[in-house]
Structure 1
Amino acid sequence: MGLFKKNPFGHNLFIKKWLIRILAVLSHQRYKRFNKLEIEGSDIIRNLPGNNVLFVSNHQTYFADVVAMFHVFNASLSGRENSIKNLGYIWQPKLNMYYVAAAETMRKSLLTKIMAYAGSISVERTWRSQGKDVNRQVKMSDISNIGKALDDGWVITFPQGTTTPWKPIRKGTAHIIKKYRPIVVPVVIDGFRRSFDKKGLQIKKKGILQSMVIKEPLDIDYENESTDSIIEKLEYAIEQHPSFLKVISKKDLLAYEEANKARKFRNSNP
Structure 2
Amino acid sequence: MGLFTKNPFGHNLFLKKWLIRIMALITHQRYKGFNTLEIEGSEVIRNLPDTKVLFVSNHQTYFADVVAMFHVFNASLKGRDDNIRNIGYIWKPKLNMYYVAAAETMKKNLLAKILAYAGSISIERTWRSEGKEVNRQVKMSDITNIGTALDDGWVVTFPQGTTTPWKPLRKGTAHIIKRYKPIVVPVVIDGFRRSFDKKGIRVKKKGILQSMVIKEPLDIDYENESVESIIEKLEYAIEQHPSFLKVISEKDLLALEEENKLRKWRNG
TM-score in terms of structure 1 length: 0.96
Match of 2:204 in 1: 204
Instruction: For residues 27-49 of structure 1, give each alpha carbon's deviation from its aligned partner in whole angstroms, at most 9, with x where no partner exists.
Output: 00000000000000000000000
Check if 1:17 corresponds to 2:17.
yes
Give the gaps of 5 or more residues in structure 1: none
Match of 1:216 in 2: 216
Instruction: For residues 56-87 of structure 1, give each alpha carbon's deviation from its aligned partner in whole angstroms, at most 9, with x where no partner exists.
Output: 00000000000000000000000000000000
Match of 1:113 in 2: 113
Q: Residues of 1 paired with 2:148 and 2:87: CA distance?
A: 30
Q: Residues of 2 paired with 1:207 and 1:61: CA distance?
A: 18
Q: Residues of 1 paired with 2:263 and 2:118: CA distance?
A: 31
Output the amino acid matched with 2:52.
Answer: N
Q: Residues of 1 paired with 2:152 and 2:229: CA distance?
A: 27
TM-superposed deviation, 1:258? 1.8
TM-superposed deviation, 1:250? 4.3
Matched residue of 2:99: which SS?
Answer: strand
Matched residue of 1:210: which SS?
Answer: strand
Matched residue of 1:185: which SS?
Answer: strand
Q: Residues of 1 paired with 2:125 and 2:260: CA distance?
A: 26
Equivalent residue runs for 1:1-270 within 5 Å: 1-259=1-259
Q: How many residues align?
A: 267
Instruction: For residues 232-261 of structure 1, give each alpha carbon's deviation from its aligned partner in whole angstroms, at most 9, with x where no partner exists.
Output: 000000000000000014442122232465
Give the gaps of 5 or more residues in structure 2: none
Percent identical pairs in the alignment equals 83
CA contact (8 A) 1:197 1:264 kept: no
CA contact (8 A) 1:195 1:205 kept: yes
Matched residue of 2:88: which SS?
Answer: helix
Output the amino acid matched with 1:214.
Answer: I
Q: Residues of 2 paired with 1:144 and 1:256: CA distance?
A: 36
Output the amino acid matched with 2:14.
Answer: F
CA contact (8 A) 1:194 1:260 kept: no
CA contact (8 A) 2:197 2:263 kept: no
Residues 145 and 253 from structure 1, CA distance in 2 versus in 1: closer, same or farther, beyond 3 angstroms? same
Matched residue of 1:8: which SS?
Answer: coil
Output the amino acid matched with 1:131.
Answer: G
TM-score in terms of structure 2 length: 0.97
Q: Residues of 1 paired with 2:176 and 2:233: CA distance?
A: 15
Matched residue of 1:155: which SS?
Answer: strand
Matched residue of 2:172: which SS?
Answer: helix
Instruction: For residues 130-160 of structure 1, give each alpha carbon's deviation from its aligned partner in whole angstroms, at most 9, with x where no partner exists.
Output: 1100000000000000000000000000000
TM-superposed deviation, 1:263? 8.2
TM-superposed deviation, 1:262? 5.6
Residues 263 and 98 from structure 1, CA distance in 2 versus in 1: closer, same or farther, beyond 3 angstroms? closer
Instruction: For residues 139-189 of structure 1, give each alpha carbon's deviation from its aligned partner in whole angstroms, at most 9, with x where no partner exists.
Output: 000000000000000000000000000000000000000000000000000
Instruction: For residues 177-212 of structure 1, give each alpha carbon's deviation from its aligned partner in whole angstroms, at most 9, with x where no partner exists.
Output: 000000000000000000000000000000000000
